[in-house]
Amino acid sequence: MVREDGFYSFCESPDCNVVYYHSIPSQASGLPGAVFTIDRLINKVTVKDDSLDTPLCYCFKVLKGEALDEISRTGGVEIKALMNRRRKPGQGCFCEKSNPRGDCCTGDIRGWLTAQGLEVGSDEDTCGCGC
């Protein structure tokens, strides 16, 4: 995926420590091929970090551990309820800016829930941002 600035792509591979990269020199950026690795970012990246303090939802600050607690408490995978409790009145999502992938977190949430061995319902059950 090409970032909005046109220079960087997001590395999808969970096993790679590169998060953003561009391999073709750009006259506009003045940079040769460059990478940003996990250790250079402030936030943990959902698809790159298995720890429970890694965000699933960056807009409403839902962590993997909190999602597991919610699932344990309710018996369901409706992460949406947790997100909605954190949403302020009138607040929308801003996934394109807050999620390191640069788009809605629904795919990351669904992928993570599936990797946990949980049966995932519809996008409506896993996303509270309305993307």
**Per-residue pLDDT for 26 more than 70?**
no
**Confidence band for 19, pLDDT divided at 50, 70 and 90:** very high
**Per-residue pLDDT for 112 more than 60?**
yes
**Confidence band for 110, pLDDT divided at 50, 70 and 90:** confident
Q: What average pLDDT score do residues 34-50 get?
A: 90
Please name each of the domains of the chain with its CATH number.
9-40 (no CATH), 55-122 (1.10.10.1100)
Long-range CB pairs of 68-77 (<8 Å, 24+ gap) are: 68/116, 71/118, 76/125, 77/113, 77/118, 77/119, 77/120, 77/121, 77/125, 77/126
pTM, whole model, 2 decimals? 0.77
**Confidence band for 123, pLDDT divided at 50, 70 and 90:** low
**Confidence band for 118, pLDDT divided at 50, 70 and 90:** confident
The pLDDT assigned to 1 comes to 42
Who's near 84: CB < 8 A, 6+ residues apart? 128
